[in-house]
């Protein structure tokens, strides 16, 4: 995959692009605190597509959002559409992992005229919140946001230490963690620090309810293939995740043994599950 940069209204977007320039257009959206390198292991196994994997705002080598703004799935919808506009893509498909699949769900439901197909890996819709926890979540988010400027940036004296930290945090193998860390850090005095915007670690101020997430998923009209890892993750347990996928008007599910980053750890199995779904005409 080769580096690219483009400008959208909020700022500079960096990323990786590979595949066939004449193939079906696919925008690959990575997970929370990951970056475009998330798709490096999978990209060579997907044929017949023009694969563009941006570092989403605040991640990797892309610009951070302006001060006074916050990161949300809803806000990311326009970033995704702005990226497609900058590429000159009127219609395209989405390949999303985790947070990227959540954002992709909103794009597919909110701009159905733009989306041809959708592959969602390890997420569908958005993370819900109970009505009872609405106020406590809001208060926690406000307090954390106000306290953030006083926190010190963690500096790793050696990049290998950052790799080991990422391996431990996400139960990743060393080669996979290194891909993400090398693109997700920057040189600073004393070593290396995460390049991602610290505001990404803040609690989301307001989340949808379960009923709203269900309505969102039911509003995804395009052909959709959902790929889940087994065992299920705590944030999207069974039977909730299967029940939600069943709400898709034109959806199907594949379940593969593995962890949350199965598209990086076992790209051959994920590529087989995708098959020709994204390259179909």
Helix (H) or strand (E) holding 226: strand 224-230
Task: Quick: pLDDT tens for 3-12.
Answer: 999 999 999 9
* Structural domain contains residue 20: yes
Q: Is residue 202 part of a domain?
A: no
Residue 158 lies in a domain: no
Residues 239-260 pLDDT 10s: 999 999 999 999 999 999 999 9
Cβ atoms of 102 and 73 closer than 8 Å: yes
CATH number of 104's domain: 3.40.50.1820
Q: How many domains does the chain have?
A: 1
Q: Which of the following is catalytic: 38, 62, 93, 98?
A: 98
pLDDT in tens, 199-232: 999 999 999 999 999 999 999 999 999 999 999 9
Look up 196 and say whether it is catalytic.
no
Reading phi first (left if > 0) and then psi (alpha if -120 to 50, else beta), residue 151 is in beta
242 in a structural domain: yes
Task: Tell me the C-alpha to C-alpha distance, in Å, between residue 178 and each of 58, 62, 228.
Answer: 19, 19, 24
Contacts of 89 (CB under 8 A, 6+ apart): 25, 27
Global pTM value: 0.97
Any domain includes 173: no
Is there a domain that residue 146 lies in? no
Percent of the chain residues topping a pLDDT of 90: 94
264 within some domain? yes
Domain that holds residue 128: 2-132+209-274
Query: Does residue 168 form part of some domain?
Result: no
């Amino acid at each position: 995959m080769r580096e690219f940069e483009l400008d959208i209204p909020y700022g500079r977007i960096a990323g990786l692009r590979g595949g066939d320039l004449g193939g079906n257009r696919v925008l690959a959206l990575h997970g929370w605190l990951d970056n475009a390198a998330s798709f490096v292991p999978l990209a060579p196994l997907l044929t017949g597509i023009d694969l563009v994997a941006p570092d989403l705002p605040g991640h990797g080598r892309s610009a951070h959002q302006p001060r006074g703004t916050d990161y949300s799935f809803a806000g990311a919808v326009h970033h995704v559409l702005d990226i497609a506009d900058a590429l000159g893509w009127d219609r395209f498909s989405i390949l999303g992992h985790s947070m990227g699949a959540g954002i992709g769900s909103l794009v597919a439901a909110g701009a159905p005229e733009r989306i041809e197909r959708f592959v969602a890996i390890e997420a569908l819709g958005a993370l819900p919140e109970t009505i009872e926890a609405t106020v406590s979540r809001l208060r926690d988010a406000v307090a954390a946001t106000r306290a953030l400027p006083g926190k010190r940036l963690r500096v790793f004296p050696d990049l290998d230490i950052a790799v080991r930290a990422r391996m431990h945090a996400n139960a990743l193998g060393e080669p996979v963690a290194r891909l993400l860390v090398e693109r997700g850090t920057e040189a600073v005095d004393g070593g290396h620090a995460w390049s991602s915007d610290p505001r990404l670690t803040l609690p989301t101020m307001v989340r949808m309810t379960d009923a709203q997430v269900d309505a969102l998923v039911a509003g995804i009209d395009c052909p959709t293939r959902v790929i889940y890892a087994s065992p299920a993750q705590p944030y999207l347990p069974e039977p909730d995740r299967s029940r939600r996928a069943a709400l898709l008007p034109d959806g199907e599910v594949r379940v593969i043994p593995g962890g949350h980053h199965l598209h990086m750890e076992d790209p051959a199995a994920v590529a087989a599950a995708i098959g020709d779904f994204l390259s179909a005409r």
